[in-house]
Amino acid sequence: MRKHRKRTYRKRRPLLTAVFTAAMILSAMYIHTYAKEHYATGPMIALTFDDGPGPYTEELLDCLEENRAQATFFMLGQNVGAYPETVKRMKKLKCEIGNHSWNHPDLTTLSLEDALSQLRETDDALIRACGSASTVVRAPYGSYSSALIEAAGKPFIMWSTDSLDWKLRDAEADYQQIMGDSTLSDGSIILMHDIHKESVECAKRLIPDLIAKGYRLVTVSELAQAKNVTLQAASYTDFWERSLNP
């Protein structure tokens, strides 16, 4: 009886070893992926896209999803109603929902009340589309007053790398403009516009290439959090080490 049991155990041992090894490999892979997504401390960049959503935004979201990357979208309230599914998908892909006013006026030329209603109506449209208001604001033309920031009560996000894509309208030139920026580094915020076909074409090359260079592409809020910055009703241009600890 004892001998018999022993033999059964011996026969099963290769199987047990295989199961054990597989479990170890799978858990190591899981821990690696989890750590990469939640505790990465390597260099990070925030890609930001303004003036959308538009007809090319879905193509951009495909690329972000394929590359497991995130971006921040500063949207115009007047465009949100036409693309509710796209806005829902941004949220599902853990991209950040940003407010870029209703119809792109220079907010400093409006009364404080009118400027605030530009932001409020856009948030209402975002809530109708995806159930969430914006977490961050980008003022059109980067034009704002400190009174507006205070009244809006949200972080206003500028940029450190301007792709000039709205002017260049050429995927190759956009790409060179961004990659050729000597300040592009850990903590940078890149400005692009997903309403232009050429910009989305550029992003489709830029996203995998930045990842290949070792950058993690995160939202503005994730970037701030990773740099131990608690976003407040203030203006932010970058999250570089030299800006945070001058």
Catalytic machinery residues: 50, 193
Rounded to whole angstroms, the Cα distance separating 155 from 223 reads: 13
| Closest distance of CB 142 from Ni ion, Å | 9
Nearer to Ni ion, 43 or 55 (CB): 55
| 60/217 Cα distance (integer angstroms) | 14
Tell me the closest approach of the beta carbon of residue 245 to Ni ion, in angstroms: 31
Residue 113 beta carbon to Ni ion: minimum distance, rounded to whole angstroms:
22
Q: Segment near Ni ion (CB under 5 A), from 43-51, 57-65, 168-176, 222-230?
A: 43-51
Indicate which single residue of 50, 174, 186, 198 sits in contact with Ni ion (rule: CB under 5 A): 50
Minimum CB separation from Ni ion for residue 239, in Å? 21
The residues that bridge with 157 in the sheet, in sequence order, are 236
* Chain position whose Cβ is nearest to Ni ion: 50
From residue 47, how far is each of 11, 30, 40, 157, 240 by CA, in Å? 56, 27, 17, 12, 15
Quick note: the x/- pattern for Ni ion over 118-147, rule CB under 5 A, is: ----------------------x-------
Q: How many helices (H) and strands (E) does the chain have?
A: 11, 9
Provide φ and ψ at 52, rounded to 5°. Answer: -85, -160
Please tell me whether residue 241 adopts helix, strand or coil conformation: helix
Among 46, 51, 134, 215, binds Ni ion (CB under 5 A): 51
d(CA 23, CA 31): 12
**Count, residues near Ni ion per rule CB under 5 A:** 3
CB of 166 or CB of 240, closer to Ni ion: 166
Tokens representing 185? 């580094």
Nearer to Ni ion, 77 or 140 (CB): 140
| Residues making contact with Ni ion (CB under 5 A) | 50-51, 140
